[in-house]
Amino acid sequence: MTDVLIIGWGKGGKTLAGTLARAGRSVTLVEQSSAMYGGACINVACIPTKILVHDSQVPHGTDYDATVFAAAVDRRDTLTAAMRAKNYDMLDTVDGVTLIDGTARFVDASTVEVATADGATRISAETIIINTGATPTPLDLPGADGPRVHDSESIQHVDPLPKRLLVVGDGPIGLEFASMFAGFGSSVRVLSRHDRLLARDDEDVAQVLTDVLTDAGVEIVTGAAARAFTDTGTEVTVTAEIGGETREFAADAVLLATGRSPNTADLDLAAAGVDVDDRGAVVVDDRLRTSAPGVYAIGDVHGGPQFTYLSLDDNRILEDLLLGAGDRRVSDRVAVPTTTFVTPPLARVGLSETQARERGLDVIVASTMVRDIPTLPRPKIVNNPAGIIKVVVDASSKQILGATLFCVDSQEVVNLVALAMRHGITAPELASSIFTHPSTSEMFNGVLAGI
């Protein structure tokens, strides 16, 4: 018997385990793979991919050199191993936390059976938290399980670096890897089912992104639906339907960037009375409670935007519910920023111009190409003045409704905009603020001037 059982060692789960144990609760954390201590972020997602993104942009004097990619993979593996060990130690040294390696499935709403190397054991708990995350969604197409067809996890160890990479999917993961492998010298082609990139975003931003990727050597094929993958023994041929016609593309490797699905199939959630939606995501309310009393879900497993920082915020909601007043809600979140780590990064928060106008809002839109902002020398200093800045402002109140920052350092600066939005700082106030020089934050002195 334990007070709290957490299934899965993700960002929210590991943080909550330590917090609850220090508050006097007995906590048992179950993780099915020792390679995933610390969660997906540090092992297969945020951290390792950003290492590769960074190293792909370090000048290496040649268009293609497999040894450069191999060295980046080694650095990736070294850092993630160190972080994995640190994460384990951070909980293993906390009194009240018991760590178990094994695969869990529900027996009922308060009992879980864990299959371990030493056999099955049953654990009962007053509170059970599902934190099993998500994994790449496979494609049910002929040949999609071939040896040269990868998902976003296996592609990180592709060997050797493919001279020709074909990416199926134009979401954030697909575009990030396309940009990264182009930086390493691969010839990259992206198959997009849509008429253009960023199909739901502003057309001008989409065009700038397309131009930047094209300049980096990425070919974008729009209106393309993959139908089959044929391995010839030396390469893989991808058959796609484009405009009613069939075309074939040859590549050394294929990346399926077709989204991520919640890890719930093996949990036997029905035995606990836990409802899931049509994608297998655990259904939760505004305080992360499932349909079974005493059972909660945090992180990617309950669907919605899949970001580590939202898993961390899920942890705060449950901490408040289990130890505090229970006032925090998922719906409290406003101005949540996102970043797609192409080069330069594409960061967004709030409404786009298209979304604002579709809502009938009276807005002022400040939009400027990065290279044309006189108060912004930093991108030129680091030799990457590509991109566009767009800020959507309420015409009457001058409140910032949203921003798209496609530029150097945007993953940092977007947090400043999000903070301004949460606290009612107006566009004129941001425009007249004092920023260090030279910094990317200085963009607001120019872009928002006169609003």
Closest to 290 in 3D by CA, of 269, 306, 262, 312: 269
Q: What is the rounded CA–CA span in Å between residue 35 and residue 33?
A: 5
437 is catalytic: yes
Are 447 and 389 within 8 A, CB to CB? yes
**Residue carrying the six token digits 């954390």:** 29
CB atoms < 10 A from the CB of 382, how many?
13
**Rg over CA atoms, the chain:** 23
DSSP character at residue 300:
G
DSSP E strand boundaries for 279-413? 295-297, 338-340, 346-350, 363-369, 388-394, 400-406
- Tell me the HSE value of 118 on the side-chain side, using a 13 A CA sphere: 4
Are 389 and 368 within 8 A, CB to CB? yes
Task: Write the CA distances from 1 to 201, 258, 274, 294, integer angstroms.
Answer: 50, 40, 21, 14
DSSP character at residue 180:
H
Looking at the annotation, which residues are catalytic?
A: 437
